[in-house]
Structure 1
Amino acid sequence: MAAACALTAAAVLLPLAQAAPETGGPPAVRPPASVQVAPDALWGPGDTCENPEASLRPSTVDGPTIERIRSAGKLVAGVDQNSFKWGYRNPDGHLDGFDIALVKAIAKDILGDESKVIYRAIPTSQRIPALQAGRVDVVVRTMTINCKRLEDVAFSTAYFEAGQQVLVPKGSTITGYDASLKGRKICFAAGSTAEAALTSRSYGSVPVTVPNQLDCLVRLQLGEVDGIITDNALAAGQAAQDPSVQLVGSPFTKEFYGVAMNKDATDLVRRVNKVLENYRAGGNDSPWMVAYRAHFEGVLPKAVAPPEPKYRDG
């Protein structure tokens, strides 16, 4: 446990990723914990608008944002470097993961070269501010599409389905997102869907907020918190790293990840949606399925297909 904790802490302290990755790597892979299939959502993450997953229709027409990216010669992507299987540093120091594969596909489509990316590692709470300030062109960081966020940023169509679930040490008396949380210290990342869920219904738990979701795993390993609430897709990667933790209960949301962009970058939104159309195409041989098998084989259940895109008029 001490070794696992030390490795995880080291990953949290890695510096901001710029054009060239630095050395470092994720903890060793451990036997995965099973992930339950999400039922109909019991709680909605602030969704009061209609069809939040509906995005602009895809297009390859170049606009001002695409022209600016091409002029710069680089796509600037806000990503995670601490989430195993999603955005993390592999043993040779390079960023890897399902989200990183999607960033590369976007860069290849716009710039003709998947390596023309500047990766900026940003904490959960800075995803929206980074877009609004123009520090990044896209955020591809397990970011749930919801109505509250749509007030501040634009999203692509959904590229992954997940659900909020509780991660605890094996042997814990916590049974899920229920009354067993009463009086227990529950960790979540600031600005996350989990924070909104516990604000809405805490079950008497004691909230512990951290900048990055992986910080919660460190605190759990140190015994500073009793449990974590996060996306089950993220938690499955953590359970694969540390066999002493497990997911409990059932997912209590159904939510979808999207690529986030500036609200004014409509040409980029349409272009990313075109990239995603191609990324999903091809059935079992699609780039989406290839990336899923590469990163989630034995960690998440076998995927049938990516989420179907939804579009709005205009």
Structure 2
Amino acid sequence: MKKIILLVSLILGFYLIGCTNQGENTLEALRKKDVITIGVFSDKPPFGFINKKGQNDGFDVLIAKQIAKDLLGDESKVKFELVEAASRVEFLKSGKIDIIMANFTKTKEREEVVDFATPYMKVALGVVSLGGAITSIEDLRGKKLIVNQGTTADFYFSKNHPEIELLKFDQNTEAFLALKNARGDALAHDNLLVFAWTKENPEFVVGIEKLGEEDVIAPAVRKGDKELLQWLNKEIETLNTNGFMKEAYEKILAPIYGSDKIDSVLFVK
């Protein structure tokens, strides 16, 4: 009898703990924990990368630090979790990260599994090749196209052009190295990224500058995480209007794209 009573007590205890955790929203939990974990890239300059000092750096990283400062009072209260394109959603769903800031393009497919906040950047697909040899979809017939697994480029070509052979990689560094080593004829990725990459690799040219419809990049939270989503929506709107995004653009992106391109890249007001 004592064993039965003990077992029932343990089950009831776990049940009550579970109810407490479910009743506490993520925003409350983050403030109690006093740290926020944000997923960023380590190999996608100028958006998310590791600098020469071994520190997380880039446009997304600056935004992530500001989020931590505005939520918890100090930008140092952000913990960066390095992600790959294909792992972003799983890291979020499993609770390993609280927010995705890894240059995450908003798509209908992704909206089914995560909740996107207010967007902060505009983007389309671009295709880069040696000397700009590839200038149209027709030029890719019978060629190998390099993409990163789980990216918008992967989804776009798999759905709309299944006849084009795709060579897929998990990491950006692997994909661009494969292009330099002529393992593929061209590489498709976010046009902002390939434009930046060709600045450092001028022998390659973005022959297709805009493919498909223009998309937006936005932070994302777990599906149904309403309180954090509402806070994040207001935060991004504030950063778009209070001058922060303009300053971040001038610091990180203007040297690559030019100060005059800010309105075509960001949603600043």
> What are the residue-to-residue correspondences of 1:107-256 with 2, within 5 Å?
107-170=68-131, 172-176=132-136, 178-202=137-161, 204-252=163-211, 253-256=213-216
Which structure has more relative contact order (CA 8 Å, sep 6+)? It is 1
Distance 1:181 1:202 in 2: 10
Please name the residue that 1:265 is paired with.
Answer: 225
Runs of 5+ consecutive residues of structure 2 not aligned to the other structure: 1-23
Q: Deviations over 1:202-221 (max 9, x none)?
A: 27421111112332101011
Length-normalised TM-score, structure 1 = 0.73
Aligned pair partner of 2:66 in 66, 82, 105: 105
Q: Secondary structure at the match of 1:223?
A: coil
CA contact (8 A) 1:80 1:88 kept: yes
Q: Deviations over 1:69-109 (max 9, x none)?
A: 12222110111010111001122111111100110111111
Q: Secondary structure at the match of 2:74?
A: coil
Q: Deviations over 1:267-306 (max 9, x none)?
A: 1111111111210114xxx110111111112312421273
Distance 1:96 1:237 in 2: 15
CA contact (8 A) 1:181 1:203 kept: no
Distance 1:99 1:121 in 2: 12
Q: Secondary structure at the match of 2:75?
A: coil
State the 4+ residue runs in structure 1 displaced beyond 4 angstroms.
none
Length-normalised TM-score, structure 2 = 0.85
Distance 2:173 2:250 in 1: 23
Q: Secondary structure at the match of 1:165?
A: strand
Structure number with bigger Rg: 2
Pairwise CA RMSD: 1.7
CA contact (8 A) 2:84 2:171 kept: yes
Q: Secondary structure at the match of 2:145?
A: strand
Equivalent AA in structure 2 for residue 222 of structure 1 = N
Q: Deviations over 1:186-243 (max 9, x none)?
A: 0111111111111122274211111123321010111111111110111122112322
CA contact (8 A) 1:98 1:292 kept: yes
Q: Secondary structure at the match of 1:251?
A: strand
Distance 2:106 2:162 in 1: 25
CA contact (8 A) 1:181 1:204 kept: no
Q: Identity of aligned pairs, percent?
A: 24
Shift of 1:249: 2.2
Distance 2:255 2:207 in 1: 18
Runs of 5+ consecutive residues of structure 1 not aligned to the other structure: 1-62, 310-314
Higher strand share: 2
Please name the residue that 2:20 is paired with.
Answer: none
Q: Secondary structure at the match of 2:205?
A: strand
| Matched residue count | 242
Aligned pair partner of 1:277 in 215, 234, 237: 237
> What are the residue-to-residue correspondences of 1:15-34 with 2, within 5 Å?
none
CA contact (8 A) 1:167 1:235 kept: yes
